[in-house]
Amino acid sequence: MDLKIRAAEIGDARRLAELMDFAGEGIPMYLWRESAGPDGDPLEFGARTVSGTDGGFSYVNAHVAEIGDEVVGMLLGYRLPDPHDVEPLSEAPVVVRPLLELEALAPGSWYVNAVAADPAWRGRGVGSALMQRAEEVAAGSGAEVLSLIVAEENRGARRLYERLGYADVARRPLLPWPGCRHSGHWVLMTKPVPGSAGPV
């Protein structure tokens, strides 16, 4: 299997939006649907958002995994500011407020916002390769810690992250959205960036 990982390009925007929604447990599509309105196409709205260069969901923060000419996975990540001044939670959609609270607990970390492998390619090392790329980019950014947030009921993902050395740091209640498949909590997990001194 000839797996290649490269920086995402603007032409990947629609595929990135599809994979971001998959990684985000349906929250991105829910938010895009709200923003697009009753007559809009939420996936098209998401693709336009990803095509921009501002905000966390921009393609400039993404890498894609390719096999041949097919994009089979994606990684979205970036360094969180330090100090991390969270936008007023009252202005954020209710479902993302717990996520913002957890992000604020990992200032300066390199944040794995989303990682996903196409279901047809799961179990073939795509996710592990993307997480390895996250470590490489994090090291280049000067961050000492990697962070991510996962639903506690997403046991497959949690097993992968634990195997890679991530440990639980904090939890917040998961607030359901239309189509939500989980209950319980969101879990913030972190690990030292390999080769760094780690947090002081």
For residue 198, being part of any structural domain is answered with no
Does the global pTM surpass 0.85? yes
| DSSP structural state of residue 151 | E
On the 0-12 / 13-18 / 19+ scale of CB atoms within 10 A, 74 is: buried
Tokens of 159: 């097993």
For residue 199, being part of any structural domain is answered with no
Which three-class secondary structure state does DSSP give residue 18? helix
What are the angstrom distances between the C-alpha of 189 and each of 102, 106, 167, 183, 185?
Answer: 10, 9, 5, 18, 12
Counting as low any pLDDT under 50, the low residues of the chain are 200
DSSP 43-58: HHHHHHHHHSSSSTTS
Could you give the angle at the alpha carbon of 43 between the alpha carbons of 137 and 63, nearest 5°? 15
Could you list the residue range(s) of the whole structural domain that residue 37 is in? 3-192
Q: How high is the pLDDT of residue 59?
A: 97
For residue 118, being part of any structural domain is answered with yes
For residue 35, being part of any structural domain is answered with yes
Q: How high is the pLDDT of residue 197?
A: 62
Q: How high is the pLDDT of residue 199?
A: 55
Q: How high is the pLDDT of residue 62?
A: 98
Reference 1, options 77, 59, 73; nearest CA is 73
Q: How high is the pLDDT of residue 200?
A: 44
* 65, 129 contact by CB (below 8 A): yes
What confidence tens digit (pLDDT) does each residue in 93-152 have? 999 999 999 999 999 999 999 999 998 887 778 999 999 999 999 999 999 999 999 999
On the 0-12 / 13-18 / 19+ scale of CB atoms within 10 A, 23 is: buried
For residue 39, being part of any structural domain is answered with yes
Structural domain total, the chain: 1
CATH of the domain at 149: 3.40.630.30
